[in-house]
């Protein structure tokens, strides 16, 4: 069984976490960080790795792709136009999108470099990529890495990267970072609580977003 199979079969269990007490708080914190960088004029908009569609629905993103059919069915019920595809081979013409969102996508990608190159390809010259991830060297990244080692049903397929590694990959895709946001400064050992998203890279933050444009 690979990651796609797990997200197909366990999509409801994965999505149900967002309705748990901790999940609601953490999702709200993460969404606030994305909203610091996402703009309504990024149209047409695409989420790569749309999953069950929580972020796309909240941000008004009209379309999303994901390899997992089970997750896509949930995104479609949330009003997102969905296509089954992998981020490494987006079924869209070059230069057609004003905005591309990726939330915890590169950590599950077989080729994060390929996914970022494809995102850059489909962006308009003035378009933006918003890339959000869990840094490997944050307390949250360290926790999820431990869960990966323990065989967690989802995280065992993930590879986490440091912010420095993400910046290199974004640059290699021909993109220039011009904005940042961070949240989940509160460590995972503490109870989840609402946080104010920071418009910068905060050392140790468990959720960071980079805004990047085509050169």
Q: How confident is the model at residue 8 (pLDDT cuts 50, 70, 90)?
A: low
**Chain segment 106-165, per-residue pLDDT in tens:** 999 999 999 999 999 999 999 999 999 999 999 999 999 999 999 887 888 899 999 999
CA atoms within 13 A on the CB side of 124: 12
Token pair 């629905």 in the structure block, residue: 57
CB contact at 8 A, 128 and 212: yes
Q: How confident is the model at residue 11 (pLDDT cuts 50, 70, 90)?
A: confident
Q: Is the pLDDT of residue 1 over 50?
A: no
Give the residue from 113, 97, 114 showing the smallest Cα distance to 41. 97
Q: What was the pLDDT predicted at 61?
A: 97
Q: How confident is the model at residue 5 (pLDDT cuts 50, 70, 90)?
A: low
Domains of the chain are 3-214 (3.40.50.150)
In this structure, of 4-8, 166-170, 171-175, the range with the lowest mean pLDDT score is 4-8
Give the residue from 145, 183, 134 showing the smallest Cα distance to 32. 183
Q: Distances from the Cα of 47 to the Cαs of 1, 62, 149, in angstroms? A: 25, 8, 28
Q: Is the pLDDT of residue 102 over 80?
A: yes
Q: Is the pLDDT of residue 9 over 80?
A: no
Q: Is the pLDDT of residue 180 over 60?
A: yes
**Chain segment 65-90, per-residue pLDDT in tens:** 999 999 999 999 999 999 999 999 99
């Amino acid at each position: 069984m690979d990651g796609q199979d797990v997200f197909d079969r366990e999509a409801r269990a994965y999505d149900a976490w967002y309705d748990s007490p901790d999940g609601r708080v953490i999702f709200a914190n993460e969404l606030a960080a994305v909203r610091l960088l996402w703009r309504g004029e990024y149209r047409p908009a695409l989420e790569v790795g749309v999953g069950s569609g929580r972020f796309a629905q909240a941000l008004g993103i009209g379309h999303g792709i994901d390899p997992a059919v089970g997750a896509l069915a949930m995104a479609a019920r949330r009003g997102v136009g969905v296509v089954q595809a992998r981020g490494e081979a987006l079924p869209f013409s070059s230069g057609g999108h004003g905005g591309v969102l990726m939330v915890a996508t590169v950590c599950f990608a077989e080729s994060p470099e390929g996914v970022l190159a494809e995102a850059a390809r489909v962006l308009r010259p003035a378009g933006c990529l918003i890339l959000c991830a869990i840094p490997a060297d944050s307390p949250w990244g360290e926790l999820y890495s431990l869960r990966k080692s323990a065989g967690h049903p989802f995280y065992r397929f993930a590879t986490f990267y440091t912010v420095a590694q993400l910046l290199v990959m974004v640059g290699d895709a021909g993109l220039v970072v011009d904005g940042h946001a961070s949240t989940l400064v509160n460590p995972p050992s503490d109870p989840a609580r609402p946080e104010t998203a920071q418009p910068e890279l905060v050392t140790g933050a468990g959720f960071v977003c980079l805004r990047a444009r085509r050169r």
